[in-house]
């Protein structure tokens, strides 16, 4: 599962160019990816609601503390179409985190739960090319992650480590661009996104850049007849995520940040009113700095409704 | 001794009960099975570009049903078309249809009134 590569930036650049090429070659939106929310389709004056349950565990700990981080998240996303080209979204996670760590030969468990940081963003469609049974759209997006989650939770041992806190404590703006091509047979989504994490109490988490791609292929029904009961899609997604090093009082933490590539096989069952979705996100490449804790498997299951 | 029903109720009452029951059934049975269907207005066939999955169809259907005078909307995803059935005496114009499709996030390709032939069946009025 683990594969360390020395040239993460070269990989990032190649994957970026490849995804751009694939996206623009198809040159030309409904189902939407599992691992990112920015491509969710919504009509003017309509709402879309997504609830996703995410189970994640940490992978190998290169350090000596045998850290094991388990996180359960329930992420609620509400989108509203202000205009046929402008949509706004809000996302609020509930998190339950537990960290097992060995310190001075003693195994400790540090845990917390509660609401995380609220994210709000807007998306404006600048390119829309519709044809019979197909559509191509490009939309820049911008938003901010607000420090609504608790960031100074403590237990009997004192303040919890940052990775266990439910919230980041900082206001973090982000922006990007998302492109979607959808036909009756398949859908392709691609996104470039950058989040600039700001500092709080002298701690500055590294900025996060990500490149996401999603391919959804209709498995059932094989041929389209009226009425269409629903579509079952097979999904394959890729997420290339790079995080810079954290800073403590201006000093870089050498054991933080790095690059991870996830692959996500999954499914979508799509009807006119609701969608069921699920998949397993697998970290296939991890090039992390120092003793940064590696990522483990991430399970994503949820639903969406139109109303 | 309890008297028998046939002794207390004269035969003419039975006939009256049957008649009353028949009238009640005639009035009570849902109107659509006995009466003629309510009058229906004109129908339009609309071709929509960009319609490519079932989740998209809901927006189109809801937007048209919000329009005053629309009685029913039938969407055929494989052909990317929608049949909009109006209430009696109501019409739909192309510009309203275009704006409605656009608000749902799609593009109007064509707009055609559907006319009924001599047998009562509907046929598209080809330009």
Q: pLDDT tens for residues A243-278?
A: 999 999 999 999 999 999 999 999 999 998 899 999
- Per-residue pLDDT band at A148 (split at 50, 70, 90): very high
pLDDT at B42 over 70: yes
Q: Does B98 touch chain A (CB under 8 A)?
A: no
Minimal Cα–Cα distance from A120 to chain B, Å?
22
> In a mutagenesis test of the A interface, which of B55, B67, B98 is the best target, namely the one with the most A β-carbons within 10 Å?
B55
State ipTM.
Answer: 0.79
Minimal Cα–Cα distance from B107 to chain A, Å?
6
A299 burial (CB, 10 Å; 0-12 / 13-18 / 19+) is: middle
Could you write out the DSSP letters of every residue in A152-205?
--EETTEEPPGGG-SS--S-EEEEEEEEEEEESSEEEEEEEEEE-PPEETTEEP
Judged by CB atoms closer than 8 Å, whether chains meet at A44 and B77 is answered as no
Judged by CB atoms closer than 8 Å, whether chains meet at A224 and B59 is answered as no
- Predicted TM-score of the model (pTM): 0.80
Q: pLDDT tens for residues B54-100?
A: 888 888 999 999 999 999 999 999 999 999 999 999 999 999 999 99
Q: Does A25 touch chain B (CB under 8 A)?
A: no
Q: pLDDT tens for residues A80-126?
A: 999 999 999 999 999 999 999 999 999 999 999 999 999 999 999 99
Judged by CB atoms closer than 8 Å, whether chains meet at B105 and A41 is answered as yes
Alpha carbons within 13 angstroms on the beta-carbon side of residue A38 total 30
Name residue, tokens 């919890």: A160
The predicted pLDDT at position B55 comes to: 85
pLDDT at B126 over 50: no
- Within 8 A by CB and 6+ apart from A11, the residues are A5, A240, A259, A261, A285, A287
State the average pLDDT for chain A: 89
Considering only CB atoms, which chain A residues are within 8 Å of B49? 130-132, 135
pLDDT at A24 over 60: no
Burial A80-118 (b: 16+ CB within 10 A, else e): bbeebbebbbebbbbbebebbbeeeeeeeebebebebbb
More confident residue, A36 or A25: A36
Judged by CB atoms closer than 8 Å, whether chains meet at B78 and A270 is answered as no
Question: What are A161's strand-pairing partners?
Answer: none
Considering only CB atoms, which chain B residues are within 8 Å of A275? 55
Supply the DSSP symbol for A44: B
pLDDT at A232 over 50: yes
Mean pLDDT of A131-157: 96
- What is the Cα–Cα distance from A42 to A137, expressed in whole angstroms? 13
Minimal Cα–Cα distance from A238 to chain B, Å?
22
């Amino acid at each position: 599962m683990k594969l360390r590569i020395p040239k993460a930036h070269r990989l990032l650049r190649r994957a970026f160019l490849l995804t751009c090429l694939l996206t623009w070659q198809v040159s030309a939106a409904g189902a939407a990816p599992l691992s990112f929310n920015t491509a969710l389709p919504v009509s003017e004056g309509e709402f879309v609601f997504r609830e996703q349950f995410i189970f994640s565990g940490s992978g190998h700990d290169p350090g000596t503390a045998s850290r094991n981080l388990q996180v359960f998240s329930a992420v609620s996303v509400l989108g509203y179409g202000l205009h046929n080209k402008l949509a706004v979204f809000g996302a609020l996670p509930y998190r339950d985190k537990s960290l097992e760590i060995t310190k001075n030969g003693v195994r400790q468990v540090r845990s917390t739960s509660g609401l995380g940081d609220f994210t709000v963003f807007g998306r404006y469609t600048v390119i829309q090319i519709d044809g019979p049974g197909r559509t191509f759209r490009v939309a820049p997006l911008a938003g901010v992650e607000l420090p609504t989650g608790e960031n100074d939770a403590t237990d009997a041992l004192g303040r919890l480590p940052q990775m266990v806190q439910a919230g980041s404590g900082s206001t973090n703006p982000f922006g990007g661009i998302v492109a979607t091509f959808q036909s009756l047979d398949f859908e392709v989504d691609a996104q470039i996104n950058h989040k600039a994490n700001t500092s709080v109490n002298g701690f500055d988490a590294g900025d996060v850049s990500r490149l996401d791609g999603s391919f959804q292929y209709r498995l059932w029904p094989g041929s389209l007849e009226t009425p269409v009961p629903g579509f079952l899609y097979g999904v394959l997604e890729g997420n290339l995520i790079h995080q810079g090093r954290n800073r403590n009082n201006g000093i870089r933490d050498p054991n933080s940040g790095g690059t991870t590539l996830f692959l996500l096989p999954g499914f979508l069952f799509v009807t006119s009113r609701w969608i069921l979705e699920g998949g397993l996100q697998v970290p296939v490449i991890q090039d992390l700095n120092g003793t940064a804790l590696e990522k483990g498997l991430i399970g994503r299951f949820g639903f969406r409704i139109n109303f | 001794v309890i008297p028998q029903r046939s002794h207390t109720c004269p035969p003419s009452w039975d006939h009256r009960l049957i008649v009353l029951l028949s009238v009640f059934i005639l009035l009570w049975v849902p109107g659509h099975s006995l009466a003629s269907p309510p009058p229906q207005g004109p129908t339009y066939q609309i071709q929509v570009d960009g319609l490519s999955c079932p989740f998209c169809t809901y927006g189109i259907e809801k937007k048209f049903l919000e329009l005053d005078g629309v009685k029913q909307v039938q969407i055929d995803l494989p052909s990317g078309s929608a049949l909009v059935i109006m209430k009696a005496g109501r019409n739909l114009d192309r510009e309203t249809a275009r704006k409605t499709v656009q608000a749902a996030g799609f593009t109007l390709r064509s707009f055609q009134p559907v006319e009924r032939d001599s047998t009562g069946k509907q046929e598209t009025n080809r330009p």
